Amino acid sequence: MNVEISLEEKQDYSKLVSSLKLDIPKEILNKKKEAFEAFFDLDVETDPLYAKYVDEDTFSIGKELTLESSPLELSTELLDKINSLNAVIVRINGRLVFSKFPRSWTEKGVLLLDNHKEILSLGKKGTTLFDEGLKEAKKNKFAALNYALSFHPLTIIIPSRTELEEILYVIDLDFPEMGTKHVFSQTFIFIGEQSSIKLVREFHSVPFKRGEKRFWNDFYLIKLEESASLKTGILNVLSENTLFTGQIVLRSGKNSAVEWLSTQIGSKAMFLKNYFYLDHEGAELTNYECLFGDNEQEMIIVTKLQHLAPHTIGHTYNRTVVKDQASASSIGIASVHRQAPYSDSNLIESSLIVGDEASANSFPFLEIDTAEVRAGHSASTSKLDEDLVFYVMSRGLPKEDTEQLLIRGYLAPIIQKHSVEEIKFLANKLVQNKWDDNLEEIVSLISINKEEI
């Protein structure tokens, strides 16, 4: 049984939660209620794709499932894939269904939580995650709705002085048979001082009926303490039926280091906001963004980099490819505040247009409030060189293979900058899959007992 949530009229949030039979601590319930009210107060302009693609008046939230009652059964193929990984978390429609950590991680005190009470039991650490999440969620419409309607906040806690060598895979699957076409996923990650982790997040869809629309909203908050390290890759292969909106918030500690690669090729329309805060002295972020749209895909990515302390380093590199009737906009804003002298900030954005109907725009901005700073930005947009296409085709390649070769060559330098070989391999494979059209393989990974829905 689904619960319908009006997008036009404010509802009694407490009654809404009560109808879902959810046991949420009062402290968290009040924060969620505040976010729910903020959704109605926020202007639609905070999410430019909202008015264009969301034409319904209600959202539906499906029934709660547990591992024991879930109608989903992981197939042999998926189990084989999971068993080949030493550290993996699987979520379906934003709900945890499987997890596996090495024994050494458990011995070191690594925690995986998806329950509000468990997160609150962490004390100040847990409260801080919820407070930071609410503060950031109230900045745009769908992030506020996500905060209010995500009831399974996946939370990963890495204790201080913990170095994790294995890559952690968080695999998010969208499966329409779960009874609702609206997916809300929420993830909190806390990395203690002098700790390090390598992380891959994957978003996948199964094929849907032609014309069926899906909506996925993701909220992702990462907090690093002093000298912590994060090396991560995000891979989006959602179906062309899906509207994906997401908000990423990163708060960095003193002398922390983050290496970030976002590879976006999926979804009908994508609107992604990145908020990167270099809060403390010596914090460093290197952000690589790789976008590839075709057919009628529409992609918007906004990256806001805030230098808030001295000697911080923040570099963003973006490469975008659009073909057919696809469109993409990349907006980068680097702000070096008065209290952040001797910082280093750089934005480099470039786009490649294939064909006459695609369009791409890049908008890098610098906001400098201190004289002692090293900062720069650049943007370029170009069309695929027809002479180069002709030259490669003259060597015996058909046009489609030629375009594929040149596009992969254009995106490769961004991907290859990442230091983790496995993440580079996955990103390159994802770009290759753009031509292989093999998303249907994911359907073989899941079997479903429809009688239990």
- Domain count of the fold of the chain: 1
Single-letter amino acid code for the residue at 57: D
Paired tokens of 306: 């805030």
What is the structure's pLDDT at 106?
Answer: 92
Helix (H) or strand (E) segment spanning residue 406? helix 399-416
What is the structure's pLDDT at 350?
Answer: 94
What is the structure's pLDDT at 111?
Answer: 94
**What does DSSP assign to residue 338?**
T
**What does DSSP assign to residue 369?**
-
What is the structure's pLDDT at 211?
Answer: 59
Single-letter amino acid code for the residue at 108: K
Flag whether 32 is in a domain: no
What is the structure's pLDDT at 77?
Answer: 61
Flag whether 31 is in a domain: no
Flag whether 307 is in a domain: yes
Flag whether 57 is in a domain: no
Pairing, β 95-100 against β 88-92: antiparallel
What is the C-alpha separation between 345 and 54, in angstroms, rounded? 36
Flag whether 380 is in a domain: yes
For the chain, which residues score pLDDT lower than 50? 1, 64-71, 438-453
Flag whether 222 is in a domain: yes
Helix (H) or strand (E) segment spanning residue 386? helix 386-393
- The DSSP string of 22-91 is ----HHHHHHHHHHHHHHHHS-GGGSTTHHHH---SEEEEPPP--TTT-SEEE-HHHHHHHHT-SSEEEE
Q: Are 99 and 88 in contact (CB under 8 A)?
A: yes
Q: Are 246 and 272 in contact (CB under 8 A)?
A: yes
Q: Name the strands in the sheet holding 95-100, side by side, starting at the edge strand that comes first in the sequence.
A: 95-100, 88-92, 163-174, 196-205, 229-237, 257-264, 284-293, 313-323, 343-354, 373-383
Q: Are 92 and 75 in contact (CB under 8 A)?
A: no
Flag whether 45 is in a domain: no
**What does DSSP assign to residue 193?**
T
| DSSP 3-state of 411 | helix
What are the strands, taking DSSP E only, across 298-342? 298-307, 313-323, 327-336
Flag whether 224 is in a domain: yes
Q: Which domain holds residue 112?
A: 67-452
